[in-house]
A and B are shown apart, each in its own frame.
Chain A
Amino acid sequence: MILGPHADFIIASYALTAFVIAAMVAWVVLDYSTQRRLLGDLEERGVTRRSREG
């Protein structure tokens, strides 16, 4: 595959897109593990939601 004289622009576009997508994936994965950990800590301390108590 030959990208021609404007290869830098094409590579920069794909690199930036890959970076932004990777950042979004990392954000949802890390946020999920943080929320799960916080919920686990609260449940360990005996805190439960009202909807569960009912």
Chain B
Amino acid sequence: MALIDLANPTRFLRLVNRLLPWLAAVTVILFAVGLYRAMGAPDDYQQGATVKIMFLHVPAAWLGMMGWGLMSAAALGTLVWRHPLADVAGKAAAPIGAAFTFICLVTGSLWGRPTWGTYWVWDARLTSMLVLLLLYLGVLALYWTAEDPGRGARAAAILSLVGAVNLPVIKFSVEWWSTLHQPASIIRMGGATIDPSILTPLLIMTAAFTCLFFTLHFAAMRNEILRRRVRTMQLMQAQSLAEAGA
């Protein structure tokens, strides 16, 4: 099957129905292994056991950003090729990306209190991540409140592309400005600075969260395709009732 064939919603649904149980099973296995390894990981020499919050915070931050990246790619599909499946992908990713960004902010705050002595500070990394959550809420508002779904989708796509500017700001904020947040310690020149005993469970948890994201995203895309079919059929029913009454 060519990749372009997946752009057909019916073929996409067939593939998702086959793929979802396997993806969900891999997610559960990765979480079981990841949590086991995370709970057995040694304490950090400075932060003690609070380093265990990192196994949630870092994957959630990655997915909050990846979700927006996915929405930006989908926005190109909506605006350039006007493909309905691109809009379905963008709309389905928005609440999931928002949820992971929310997890990132709250776990970061709960980690910050014992580590920095404060739940919140208007530091560049924290603020740019909060902006990402607000952008997500803006996109959701556009989808949920637009009377014409097509116009709502185009407006959300434009905001998704404009908001992509925030992604490099989040990534490089710790280098561009003096921040309380620590600098990059995983994806950096010269390799990760974290000991393998903590890095390995972190990578497994990141893989588990990523699989969870795609499981939820494919399931939400399937729901959105069905919702659009229901809407089309309801409109056709209303039209035929009106014609019968005329």
Interface, chain A (partner B; CB < 8 A): 1-7, 9-10, 12-14, 16-17, 20-21, 23-25, 27-29, 31-32, 35-36, 38-39, 42, 45, 47-50
Q: Are A32 and B222 in contact (CB under 8 A)?
A: yes
Binding site for A on B (CB under 8 A): 39-40, 43, 48-50, 52-53, 56-57, 60, 95-96, 99, 102-103, 106-107, 110-111, 113-114, 212, 216, 219-220, 222-223, 226-227, 229-230, 232-234, 236-237, 240
A20 near B230 (CB under 8 angstroms)?
no
Look across to chain B and name the residue whose beta carbon is closest to the beta carbon of A28: B219
Residues of B within 8 A of A45 (CB): 237
Docked CA distance A39–B226 (Å): 8
In the docked arrangement, what's the CA distance between A23 and B216, Å?
A: 11
Report which of A20, A23, A35, A47 forms a contact with B223, defined as CB distance below 8 A. Answer: A35
The 3 closest A-B pairs by CB, nearest first: A35-B226, A28-B219, A6-B114
Contact A28 B56 (CB under 8 A): no
Is A47 in contact with B237, judged by CB distance below 8 angstroms?
yes
Task: Give bound CA distance, A5 to B99, whole Å.
Answer: 29
CA distance A7 to B53 in the complex (A): 10
Q: Jot down 17 A-B pairs with beta carbons below 8 A, ordered by A.
A: A3-B49, A5-B48, A9-B53, A10-B50, A10-B53, A12-B110, A13-B110, A21-B212, A25-B216, A31-B227, A32-B222, A32-B223, A35-B227, A35-B230, A42-B230, A49-B229, A49-B232
Q: Is the CB of A32 within 8 A of B56?
A: no
CB < 8 Å: which of B103, B232, B237, B240 contacts A17? B103
Inter-chain contact A9/B110, CB cutoff 8 Å: yes
Which single residue of chain A is at the shortest CB-CB distance from B106? A16
CB distance from B227 to the nearest CB of A (A): 5
A24 to B237, Cβ gap below 8 A? no
Contacts of A21 in B (CB 8 A): 212
- Name the B residues within 8 Å of A4 (CB-CB): 43, 48-50
A13 touching B226 by the CB < 8 A rule? Answer: no
Query: CB-nearest residue of chain B relative to A10?
Result: B52
Minimum distance in angstroms from A49 CB to a CB of chain B:
6
Q: A9-B113, A39-B226, A45-B237 are in contact. List 18 more A-B contacts (CB 8 A).
A: A4-B43, A5-B48, A9-B110, A9-B111, A10-B49, A10-B50, A10-B52, A13-B57, A13-B111, A16-B110, A24-B96, A24-B99, A31-B223, A35-B227, A42-B233, A47-B236, A47-B237, A49-B236
Select one of B53, B99, B212 contacting A13, CB under 8 A.
Answer: B53
Which residues of A are found within 8 Å of B102, using beta-carbon distances?
Answer: 20
Minimum C-beta distance from A51 to chain B (A) = 8
Question: Are B233 and A14 interface neighbours, CB within 8 A?
Answer: no
Q: How far is the CA of A35 from the CA of B229 in the complex (A)?
A: 9
